[in-house]
Amino acid sequence: MESWLESANGHPEFPVQNLPFGVFRPRGGPPRCGVAIGDCVLDLAVLEEDGLVDAGGPRPVFAQASLNGFMALGPAAWARVRERLTDLMARCGAPDISSSAMARRRTLHDSADVELLMPVRIRGYTDFNAARQHAYNAGRILRGENDALPKNWLHLPIAYNGRASTVVVSGTPIRRPWGQRLRESGDLPEYAPSALLDFELELGALVGTATSLGSPVSVAEAEELIFGYVLLNDWSARDIQAWESRPLGPFQGKAFGTTISPWIVPSAALSQARVAAPPRDHELLSYLAETRPMHLDVCLKAEIVPAGSDAGAIVTQTNSRHLYYSIPQMIAHHTSGGCSLDVGDLIGTGTISGPEPQSWASLFELTHGGSVPLQIATEDRTFLEDGDSVRLRGHAQVGEYRIGFGSCDGRILPALGS
């Protein structure tokens, strides 16, 4: 299937098979919902106003600064709108836009001329630790080989609840945090800017259907709750995190910032990118049973651009198929004790490290806890320095076309007062 919009055909991220949702501000206009296609952004608010798209709700949902209203309409509305947009943009589809120069001017914006905004009001944020290699690597560095992987890890997807208030969209600078960290010369802490600032390469899933308090959902039901997926960088202050984590886990070492990509790739766009779970050491309990392949085959990479440089280096390349637990399993476990989920909840996979060193997806792992510097362009890094930028990219290869996620970028600002 091709589009009458030529830039969409063969586009490396946004062909007509993708149609990811987001929120943007056109030049001189208010925020509204849109869809990325080729080198353009399709204006859903104008399409809705002109009667070309109907989400089926009691009131308009696209002339808003978030997608929450549309998401809350549920899977039938998501499918109906996606089918209509495909019909409008396909080469042999409805001629409503393609045949009218005025309609094209009203509904299509050049991507370079718009500002991409936070696509969703994040209601809650939970970050899992679902890649076995990352869990093992981190445990080995912190606790030694014999205690690297906790006994419970092979039986349940472990997670912590993060801060929804500090989830930001790609391009938002990240301020180096202050916090308690252990002094190098002793057992007492000091209050200082983090010296061990890191990135984590992850996927995120946006919950589009709320669940009821006290009512667990199955893995199959959990899959139907997912509106779509984003790239996610859960920035980490390793020195603050190491001092605070026992006994209750991360807090200030994670709470200062989480970056997501602005485009939400619909679950339907990744339906042909699903793969089977990896071999497991133990049979999982029945409430985590998968009824079909639910893992995703998404290629991921992270690039670091050192401060003051225009040239960076790709420091890791990995794939979401390395996750031990699928995102539907994470959601099912999240609700298994009766916890309810809201429209706009964000589920992070945790760092997606693969089996080879070049696929380890954080500096903590790549530098063996900071003991082995990593060469980036002409500079060495153990952890991020002020002015460094991290760029995450990802795509699923489906036949001859790519389903891309857009950018997930952030630059480190100096700590306040430093």
**Which residues are part of the catalytic machinery?**
134
Per DSSP, the three-state class of 138 is helix
DSSP of 267-312 = GGGGGGGEEPPPP-SSPPPGGG--SS--EE--EEEEEEE-TT-S--
**CA neighbor of 290 nearest in space, from 299, 278, 300:** 278
CB 202 within 8 A of CB 348: yes
Q: Which residues contact 98 (CB under 8 A, 6 or more apart)?
A: 4, 5, 104
What separation in angstroms does the CA of 195 have from each of 167, 191, 313, 331, 410?
A: 22, 11, 22, 34, 18
Quickly tell me which residue has 């999240």 as its tokens.
334
Q: Which residues contact 182 (CB under 8 A, 6 or more apart)?
A: 188, 189, 190, 239, 242, 243
One-letter amino acid of 262:
P
H/E segment holding residue 244: helix 238-244
Q: Contact at 8 Å (CB) between 40 and 97? A: no
Token pair belonging to 247? 């006994």
Residue 120 CA: distances (Å) to CA of 65, 70, 166, 262, 263: 8, 10, 13, 9, 10
- CA distances 44 to 32, 94, 309, Å, are 8, 16, 38
- Structure-token match 């910032």, residue found: 257
Q: Tell me how far apart the alpha carbons of residues 187 and 184 are, in angstroms, rounded to a whole number.
A: 8
